């Protein structure tokens, strides 16, 4: 396990989580990477760390350059344990190491690790001198937690962006010109939709501040590092954070005896005739985090469920709870389903959609099984409201 130099005197010393498939509910089909960086200057500095169970991998990479006990400074851009998990072990090797974090970062580290380390709080505009270069800090609260900050090395033009611009992607390659760009972008989009989306207004503020910097490398903390396609990923972040939607409809549903599936198909026909791009997701076969990737730019998010025991099918309730937390804005919906003797399905779907503040364009609820006449009526009604 070796370090990789990303710029003179700056090394990637992270860890690759090849087998990770669940990141707090997010399906990580391609694993993940926790990117830590070692700066070798007059002050030896570690920027972020890795999950605790991969600490040994990080130490092996650091040891290929220097003795880890020689680290003088740790910059903790974000307390979440995928980045801070190995910091206690670095402090163990050198109890005098100085730990830089935002004020909320320091309190977060103390709460996580019951630590009484050599902390130094930093705020936007502060900088630390490393010798031949320095790190300037910018607090970016809520991208992804209240404690988040980013660091910029003006001499090397490296932005340590932490979660921003990341992707859950395990690879032996490190840079965006070494790995298929379409996969990197797809994973960056999924990451944004599932992690960053609720904080889009804070992202826009951070993008404005970052636009003032001359950036040669975006050294993010998950996945592939950006050096060739920086304008492209910044443009994507600008689009994703502005809630721009395409002429695109999602039809998300689960079905008990096939009735809700028939209605989903009737709704599909109406969107097709109106020229929409359509994604149909049966929740028995699709993961909610993959659906979120398409929610990011969908004008319509239609959701269907039959009534089950005075409520929704659990798969549908799980999707709606997840989406509601991620807060996509200003979308339209059609809610639909079937019932036997209780119409609680539509009431619950309506409640979720109101919580999401989506515009409900139509409601469809069919008793037991829709026949062809009813399905034709649904096609007609949906076509008319689009």
Among all residues, which ones are annotated catalytic?
A: 24, 78, 80, 82, 144, 163, 191, 222
Residue 190 binding ligand FEO, by CB under 6 A? no
255: DSSP letter: -
Neighbours of 149 (CB within 10 A): 26
Residues numbered 137-156 forming contacts with ligand FEO, rule: CB under 6 A: 144-145
Q: How far apart are CA 237 and CA 163, in angstroms?
A: 13
- Least Å distance, CB 191 to ligand FEO, is 9
Q: How far apart are CA 302 and CA 350, in angstroms?
A: 11
Residue 134, classed as helix, strand or coil, is strand
Q: Which of 80, 147, 176, 187 binds ligand FEO (CB under 6 A)?
A: 80
- Least Å distance, CB 166 to ligand FEO, is 7
Stretch that binds ligand FEO, among 78-86, 92-100, 320-328, 330-338 (CB under 6 A): 78-86
Task: For residue 119, give both structure tokens.
Answer: 């902390």
Whether the CB-CB separation of 150 and 102 falls below 8 Å is answered with: no
Under rule CB under 6 A, how many of the chain's residues touch ligand FEO? 9
Q: Look-up: residue for tokens 């779907």?
A: 349
- Least Å distance, CB 148 to ligand FEO, is 8
Residues numbered 104-123 forming contacts with ligand FEO, rule: CB under 6 A: none
Q: Which of 51, 83, 174, 331 binds ligand FEO (CB under 6 A)?
A: 83
Which of 44, 124, 112 minimizes the C-alpha distance to 83? 112
224: DSSP letter: P
Q: How far apart are CA 3 and CA 46, in angstroms?
A: 12
Instruction: Rank residues 57 and 163 by Cβ distance to ligand FEO and give the closer one.
Output: 163
Whether the CB-CB separation of 113 and 105 falls below 8 Å is answered with: no
Secondary structure string (H, E, C) spanning 300-346 = EEEEECCEECCEECHHHHHHHHHHHHHCCCCCEEEEEEEECCCCHHH
Residue 78 binding ligand FEO, by CB under 6 A? yes
Residue 57 binding ligand FEO, by CB under 6 A? no
Q: How far apart are CA 43 and CA 73, in angstroms?
A: 7
Stretch that binds ligand FEO, among 49-57, 77-85, 153-161, 178-186 (CB under 6 A): 77-85
Binding mask 195-224 for ligand FEO (x = CB under 6 A): --------------------------xx--
- Least Å distance, CB 51 to ligand FEO, is 10
Task: For residue 84, give both structure tokens.
Answer: 């801070």
Stretch that binds ligand FEO, among 38-46, 80-88, 174-182, 367-375 (CB under 6 A): 80-88
User: Which residues would be at the binding site for ligand FEO (CB under 6 A)?
Assistant: 78, 80, 82-83, 144-145, 163, 221-222
């Amino acid at each position: 396990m070796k370090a990789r130099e990303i710029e003179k005197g700056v090394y990637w010393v992270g860890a690759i989580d090849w087998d990770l498939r669940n990141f707090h509910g997010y399906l990580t089909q391609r694993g993940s990477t926790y990117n830590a960086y070692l700066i070798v200057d007059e002050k030896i500095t570690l920027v972020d760390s890795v999950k605790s169970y991969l600490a040994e991998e990080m130490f092996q990479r650091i040891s290929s350059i220097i003795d880890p006990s020689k680290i003088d400074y740790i910059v903790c851009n974000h307390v979440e344990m995928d980045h801070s998990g190995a910091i206690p072990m670095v402090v163990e090797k050198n109890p005098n190491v100085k730990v830089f974090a935002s004020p909320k970062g320091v309190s977060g580290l103390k709460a996580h690790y019951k630590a009484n380390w050599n902390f130094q709080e930093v705020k936007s505009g502060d900088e630390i001198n490393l010798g031949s270069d320095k790190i300037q800090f910018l607090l970016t609260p809520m991208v992804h937690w209240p404690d988040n900050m980013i660091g910029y090395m003006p001499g090397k033009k490296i932005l340590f962006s932490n979660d921003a611009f990341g992707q859950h992607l395990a690879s032996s390659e490190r840079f965006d010109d070494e790995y298929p760009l379409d996969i990197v972008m797809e994973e960056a989009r999924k990451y944004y939709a599932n992690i960053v989306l609720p904080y889009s207004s804070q992202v826009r503020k951070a993008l404005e501040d970052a636009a003032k910097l001359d950036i040669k490398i975006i050294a993010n903390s998950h996945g592939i590092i950006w050096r060739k396609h920086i304008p492209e990923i910044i443009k994507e972040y600008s689009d994703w954070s502005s809630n721009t939607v395409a002429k695109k409809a999602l039809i998300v549903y689960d079905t008990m005896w096939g009735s809700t599936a028939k209605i989903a198909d009737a709704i599909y026909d109406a969107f097709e005739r109106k020229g929409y791009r359509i994604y149909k997701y049966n929740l028995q076969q699709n993961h909610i985090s993959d659906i979120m990737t398409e929610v990011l730019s969908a004008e319509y998010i239609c959701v269907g469920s039959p009534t089950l025991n005075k409520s929704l099918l659990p798969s549908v309730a799980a999707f709606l709870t997840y989406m509601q937390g991620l807060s996509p804005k200003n979308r339209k919906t059609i809610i639909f389903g079937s019932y036997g003797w209780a119409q609680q399905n539509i009431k619950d779907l309506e409640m979720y959609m109101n919580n999401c503040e989506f515009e409900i364009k139509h409601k469809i609820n069919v008793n037991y099984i829709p026949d062809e006449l009813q399905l034709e009526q649904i096609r007609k009604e949906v076509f008319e409201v689009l």
